[in-house]
A and B are shown apart, each in its own frame.
Chain A
Amino acid sequence: MKTFTVEAEIMPKRGVNDPQGESVLSGLKLLGFDGASKVRVGKLIRFLVSAESIDAARAEATEMCEKLLANPVIEEYELNIAEA
């Protein structure tokens, strides 16, 4: 068994309202960052997984995202996996 670090990056899907992102953008504008646009706020979940291989770790992390970490109705996710 090896240990892998997993980062699940979870973002609101396109077309899903993100009022938090809009609020952050208005804060950036107030600070004078006029070039900022399209702010979206998501979350990053970092954890360790024990698995035989990186593919097995990815399969397990994918199942975690589908079942709990992300809600596919409103969110999409990306996984970054590396051997710890």
Chain B
Amino acid sequence: MHVGVISFPGSNGDHDALANLESDLGVTVRRVDYRETTLAGLDAVVLPGGFSYGDALRCGAIARFAPVMTELQKAAANGMPILGICNGFQVLCEAHLLPGALLRNKTLKFHCYRTHIKFENVDTPWTNDLQKDEVLLLPIAHGEGSYFIDAENLARLEGNGQVVARYCDADGVVTEAENGSVNAIASVCNEAGNVVGLMPHPERATSELTGGADGLKMLKSLLNVQSVRS
């Protein structure tokens, strides 16, 4: 299993993702520069957290046009598992690979703590090792994580089962999201399910040594996926 992690100018979660996917998940990793024009040899791609292009204009708005994104659009259409974490989620929304958008947190504060997340869609390549409605404790670190989508498209999203996970309490009861996300949405996927975006950071929760390994439970799902690499 070969996993690429895209480094945009201003990404800062790329090194966490590379190190922890390699050491804790046990996959082969490759740093993919944003100027690259091929994703050949990769089975899956992660778009990491950070502040690509300094969050200029809107989070993810400029990264969407980075050279590597043309290949990523093709890979997404071909069914490659793609995971956008935090800023990576924002980039995928701006690129229209995922529906909706991420707004400034309702509190106007940067939220940086661990929170419970309930996984409802466990049919994606990034969640298939979880039980339905399994609750994980994952770190979040974002200022613009308030998921928004208009009512009509929200109904479609819910109807299609494209809500992958929601913010909840320790007992798995879905509560109002502190960041203001509609329907407490923390994670969504595309219609095919191969592209997933989430605000929490599973790649920062892969070892008990660093405060918890719930993220690894989620990421292990990728190991169940048959390689579609040519």
> Which positions in A face B, CB cutoff 8 Å?
15-17, 19-20, 23, 68-69, 71, 73-74
Across the two chains, which residue of chain A brings its CB closest to B153? A73
User: B107 — which chain A residues lie within 8 A by C-beta?
Assistant: 19
Stretch at the interface among B25-33, B126-134, B142-150, B221-229: B142-150
Report the separation of the CA atoms of residues A19 and B105 in the bound assembly, to the nearest whole angstrom: 8
Size class of the contact patch on chain B: 20 to 34
Q: A69-B57, A71-B58, A71-B94 are in contact. Are A19 and B148 (CB under 8 A)?
A: no
A20 touches B104 (CB 8 A): yes
A19 touches B150 (CB 8 A): no
User: B150 — which chain A residues lie within 8 A by C-beta?
Assistant: 15, 73
Q: A17-B180, A19-B105, A20-B104 are in contact. Are A73 and B149 (CB under 8 A)?
A: yes
B148 touches A17 (CB 8 A): yes
A19 touches B94 (CB 8 A): no
User: B105 — which chain A residues lie within 8 A by C-beta?
Assistant: 19
B35 lies within 8 A of chain A by Cβ: no
B100 lies within 8 A of chain A by Cβ: yes
List, sorted by A's number, 10 A–B pairs whose CB atoms are closer than 8 Å: A16-B148, A17-B103, A17-B146, A19-B106, A68-B57, A71-B58, A71-B94, A73-B101, A73-B148, A73-B149
B108 lies within 8 A of chain A by Cβ: yes
Report the separation of the CA atoms of residues A69 and B148 in the bound assembly, to the nearest whole angstrom: 18
B216 lies within 8 A of chain A by Cβ: no
> Which positions in B face A, CB cutoff 8 Å?
57-58, 61, 65, 93-94, 100-101, 103-108, 146, 148-151, 180
Q: A15-B150, A19-B108, A19-B180 are in contact. Are A74 and B103 (CB under 8 A)?
A: yes
Most buried by B among A20, A23, A71: A71
Report the separation of the CA atoms of residues A23 and B101 in the bound assembly, to the nearest whole angstrom: 21
User: B149 — which chain A residues lie within 8 A by C-beta?
Assistant: 73
Report the separation of the CA atoms of residues A68 and B56 in the bound assembly, to the nearest whole angstrom: 11
User: A16 — which chain B residues lie within 8 A by C-beta?
Assistant: 103, 148
Report the separation of the CA atoms of residues A71 and B96 in the bound assembly, to the nearest whole angstrom: 10
Report the separation of the CA atoms of residues A15 and B16 in the bound assembly, to the nearest whole angstrom: 37
A71 touches B106 (CB 8 A): no
A19-B107, A71-B61 known; 8 new pairs, CB 8 Å cut-off, are A15-B151, A16-B148, A17-B103, A17-B180, A19-B103, A71-B94, A73-B100, A74-B101
User: B100 — which chain A residues lie within 8 A by C-beta?
Assistant: 73
Interface residue from A23, A68, A69 paired with B108 (Cβ < 8 Å): A23
Q: What's the minimum C-beta distance from A67 to chain B, rounded to whole angstroms?
A: 9
B148 touches A71 (CB 8 A): no
Across the two chains, which residue of chain A brings its CB closest to B94? A71
